Chains A and B, each alone.
Chain A
Amino acid sequence: MAKRNNVLANLDWMTVSLYLLMMFLGWINIYAAVYNDEHQSILDFSQRYGKQAIWIVAAIIIAVGIVVIDSRVYVSFAYPIYALIILLLVSVLLFGTEIKGARSWFQVGSLALQPSEFAKLATALALSKYLSSFNFKIQSFKSLSIVALILLLPVILIFLQNDTGSAIVFFVFLLVLYREGMTGTVLFFGFLFAILFILTLVLSPLNTALILVFGAFVASLFVTRNYKESLRGLAIACLIYSLIWGTNFLLKLDIEGMNILLYSVIVSALLFSIYALRRRLKNLLLIIGFLIGSMLFILSVDYAFNTVLEKHQQSRINELLGIESNPLGAGYNVNQSKIAIGSGGFFGKGFLNGTQTKFDFVPEQSTDFIFCTVGEEWGFLGTTFVIGLFLLLFTRIIRLAEKQRTKFSRIYGYCVACILFFHFAVNIGMTIGLAPVIGIPLPFFSYGGSSLWAFTILLFIFLRLDASRFEQLGY
């Protein structure tokens, strides 16, 4: 009995307070977003704010339930829970209800449940369990393959449900792997490729390739530290380029500019590799390899973007990068969302005084675009306050995670922080035009039972683990 009491005493009440505050703020903003004169009572259960009140009460009951259960249950049942969720993901594909083009819902009466919301926490549990097991070695190929399997299984199933947004969330587990010792090179290259991807689309492949060639030249200058030699190298590369260009011109071969550059890079790269091999300049070889790799990447981005992605996905990305601007088409949501937030000004228009959200100019105003209501009615003060709350929550969770005495709890804590962070970054980012429009909710704010409950369970399992960190010494 003493231990039970300890649980309440050891619970991190600061996180719990943040959680309750966020749910409350979310609720009144949903009220403001769908407010109308006919249904003024905030507890009108025919309206979304009334329903959200029910979801919140249920979430608190769930939270209490999770705290009551012994923390070891979550550790031991990590794999079964994961297996159950995978089963649910498969069955929702077969028997689920389709809502807005995504077959990811179980309709039970008036309640719609979305298994993919729960897949995140199940994967977090399974990943924590596997990474904390004794036979896991971060450098071993076998271990990494199993990690990849744990991650990719739900990702593929959710992709198949046509719920791209939820699937993309799983990439955030790379951050957890990084914390657990995965080489930073993966993140670095991921970052580099993202930049190349954007440059290719914004600047056109040819220009990006030219920048790359220039970058490689500067890099080689640093590596060889030989001014004359580098210039000579550049001259040779230019010569090769003009040779190929001249041949194309004279023989009218109709080779594209991009390809001329590619061929000359390959030819000169070959020459330089021989030179580097003879001089045993390992770094130069690396640069050359990287250059060729990047050139091929550029080509594939160009190809993938135009043939693999669907039209609406292309235009969403184009819109985000400012290549296309069509405020009435693909950019409508983001444009209206920015107008709503921007019109809030410093102090906001005041509670229930938002016009853009209330008159339905912002789509999905109570779910994915709930942050618009915050921005419009509470202004810069409100948005900064909410962003501050989230940052406080993330740093608090990381601090708690670092205090954990078991690897499982620590890894799970990072999973929680990273999942919440990804939702935060992408959801708010898309409302202000800094991220593509991916339909994922803002944790604790957005309307919806499934996501609120899933985030609650995700967070409270961690709080339960944290509350009993002193019992688990021997684990």
Chain B
Amino acid sequence: MDTYSKRKDFLNAFFILIGIIFVLRMFGIQVISSEYKQYATRNILRPEVIYPARGLVYDRNGKLLVQNKAAYDLMVTPREVKSFDTLEMCDILDITKEELIEEMKKARSYSPYKPSPVVKQISPETYAPLQEKLYKYPGFYVQTRTLREYPRGLAGHVLGYVSEVTQKNIDANSYYKSGDYIGSQGLEESYEEYLRGRKGINHFLVDVHNRKKGSYNEGKMDTSAILGKNLIATLDADLQEYAEMLLQNKKGSVVAIEPSTGEVLVCASAPSYDPNILVGRGRGALYSKLSSDTLNPLINRAISAFYSPGSTFKTINILVALQENAITPETCFHCSGKASSPIKCTHSHAPTVNAQIGIRESCNPYFWNVFRSTIGKYPNAEKGYNVWRNHVMSFGLGQKINHEMSGLAPGLIPESESYNKMYGKGRWNAMTIRSLAIGQGEVSVTPFQMANMVAVIANRGYYIEPHLVRSVQEDDNEYRRLEFVKKQSTIDQKHFRVLIDGMQSVVEETSSGAYNVLVDSITICGKTGTIQNPHGSDHSAFIAFAPKENPKIAISVYIENGVWGARYAAPIASLIIEKYLKGKIPPKHLAKEQRMRDANLLNSFQPK
């Protein structure tokens, strides 16, 4: 025993103290804190996304409008890259060495352990030689993605396109992660949830080098991908193709609807583009080229262009007047021809005009008289106008009548309040707003709405919400027909007879009008329109339906700078009707077809 033996207690105490500190710390990080357990799971889990193929789109006859094709993303895991022949790789991929270096730098700064894309959406043609050489490039691998393909290059405006999600998409919907694809515009956008299917996720265990070590928790957390659902569109691909062909080198649109169902047969807008070019690697550059084009090929004129309806609007005005008992079919007004005031008549015909002659001759004086009678039935113009407006809107004008197309414009049928603001309350009357009688003035409509308006006339009083998709595939892969609302107009069925007879005589009897619309054995009812255009030649418009009894097709055609209604819009409409109802164009109309197809109206000024 020595004098310092008590110091053994100090040392023992010190050792035990450190031990206790360790045990407490262990208790803290192992038992109390849950943070380390979360980190641990995050460390070893790599969720791998499985992208399902997007749904296909068929036309009404089962012809493919949109399908998928394989594309390949070249991925790189920077940590695993060893030196390789960069020149050869650039050669295969057709990129410059600088681009490759730039992409590699980006990938490295994202993560040295996780894969990121070097070159996206490589075509199968490039993929074949790349696949052969891939063994020479450790750290690189190819991921298969699907891209959209449009076998006939049709209806780009209606179908829309697929693009990579933006930050806005990601913020709005947590389903999307960076690098996902999403439908933009058209049906791709509105039926996104059907078309995209559902991504699947496989959870893999990975080691520190991000190498797979098996599935996590025996795959209990994995979800399998669900294929995108197919759509059957209402479009008739052949007719759409025909309409697009006729519209080439023009600005304008064709919309055709099956009146009994509201199914849109044709929705064509020109100038157009081949949707196939908005797919794959060149997309970005071509998109900006299209969007800076002064002819605005990306705009779907059929649903978003605002036009004055012009004389085609006279059809509604006569119906409203009949419904309001402001006139009878026999009521006559006097026309002084070019001497008429305040609106002169542009056609020459007998001076006494009743309803049928008014429509046939598109007689302006007749129609402002009709309009004045309608409004004049009410104690003041505002009240009368509101009744008129209510009738007009029941044809689907001044509102959105379709919920599938995001770019759809509502058009405009102004509220009476706008006129109060313009002229002062009580300081305007029917004659102040007489332009409305002939479809000019403040009203504006889209070609899509005009086609629907014709459908109401063809149906003698109602329309089914016009739509572009007939059926969608359900989870059991059966197709379910979508249901659409039937909307009744405010006009009684009996009033339509006079108008329809008039429209028939527009096609069959008028001397200066739509003489070249006649189609053998089909009774077409139509109305021309010439829309005043201060910026160039007037626009040419034509609305029609056929056959007269039990109509199969209602159509509106707008040709910008087409000079007058019967010059381009009417022949184009008749060709489409004939093509649809008869299946082909007879030889005697081939010359007309060629004339229409070859006309170039891209210049805003056309000779009269």
Contacts and interface: CB of A to CB of B under 8 A. Distances in A.
Interface of A: 175, 178-181, 336, 338-346, 355-356, 358-361, 375, 379-380, 383-384, 387-388, 390-391, 394-395, 398, 401-402, 414, 417-418, 421, 425, 428-429, 432, 434
Contacts of B206: 359
Contact of B40 (A179, A343, A380, A414): A343
B474 interface: no
B44 A359 contact: yes
B40 A355 contact: yes
A182 B93 CA distance: 76
Contact of A391 (B3, B16, B33, B40): B16
B36 A434 contact: no
A175 B12 CA distance: 11
A379 to B, nearest CB: 6
B5 A339 contact: no
B552 to A, nearest CB: 68
B26 A384 contact: yes
Contact of B12 (A345, A375, A380, A398): A398
B22 interface: yes
21 contacts: A175-B14, A181-B4, A339-B40, A339-B43, A342-B30, A342-B37, A343-B36, A343-B37, A346-B30, A355-B40, A358-B207, A379-B30, A387-B22, A387-B23, A391-B16, A395-B15, A401-B8, A402-B8, A428-B22, A432-B22, A434-B22
Given A355-B44, A359-B44, A179 B26 contact: no
B136 interface: no
Contact of A345 (B15, B30, B209): B30
B35 A342 contact: yes
Contacts of A388: 19
A353 to B, nearest CB: 12
Given A179-B7, A359-B206, A384 B23 contact: yes
* Most chain A beta carbons < 10 A, residue from B26, B39, B209: B26
A345 B22 contact: no
A432 B26 contact: yes
Contacts of A379: 30
B8 A360 contact: no
- Interface of B, secondary structure class, is helix
A341 B40 CA distance: 10
Contacts of B209: 360
A175 B36 CA distance: 36
Interface in B457-498: none
Interface residues of B, number: 38
Given A178-B7, A342-B39, A434-B21, 15 more contacts: A175-B14, A179-B7, A338-B29, A339-B39, A343-B39, A343-B40, A344-B30, A356-B43, A356-B44, A361-B43, A384-B26, A388-B19, A395-B12, A417-B11, A434-B25
A401 B2 CA distance: 13
A421 B30 contact: no
> Could you say which of A342, A375, A402 has the most chain B C-beta atoms within 10 Å of its C-beta?
A342
B209 to A, nearest CB: 7
A345 B37 contact: yes
A345 B31 contact: yes
A360 B15 contact: no
Nearest to B14: A175
Contact of A359 (B31, B39, B205): B205
B15 A342 contact: no
B27 interface: yes
Nearest to B216: A355
B128 interface: no
B213 interface: yes
A340 B18 CA distance: 22
Residue among B4, B15, B21, B43 with max Cβ neighbours from chain A (10 Å)? B15
Contact of B4 (A180, A339, A432): A180
A458 B21 CA distance: 27
Given A340-B40, A342-B35, A380 B30 contact: yes
Contact of A338 (B3, B19, B36): B36
A377 to B, nearest CB: 12
A375 to B, nearest CB: 7
A379 B29 CA distance: 10
B591 interface: no
B7 A360 contact: no
Interface string B293-334: 000000000000000000000000000000000000000000
B23 A360 contact: no
A54 B238 CA distance: 82
B208 interface: yes
Contact of B5 (A356, A361, A402): A402
B30 A359 contact: no
Contacts of B30: 341-342, 344-346, 375, 379-380, 383
A384 to B, nearest CB: 5
B399 to A, nearest CB: 58
Nearest to B40: A343
A383 B559 CA distance: 84
Contact of B29 (A181, A342, A401, A425): A342
Nearest to B214: A37
Given A345-B37, A359-B207, A179 B4 contact: yes
Contacts of B25: 432, 434
Which among B4, B8, B33 has the highest number of chain A CB atoms within 10 Å?
Answer: B8
Interface in B6-60: 7-8, 10-12, 14-16, 18-19, 21-23, 25-27, 29-31, 33, 35-37, 39-41, 43-44
B29 A341 contact: yes
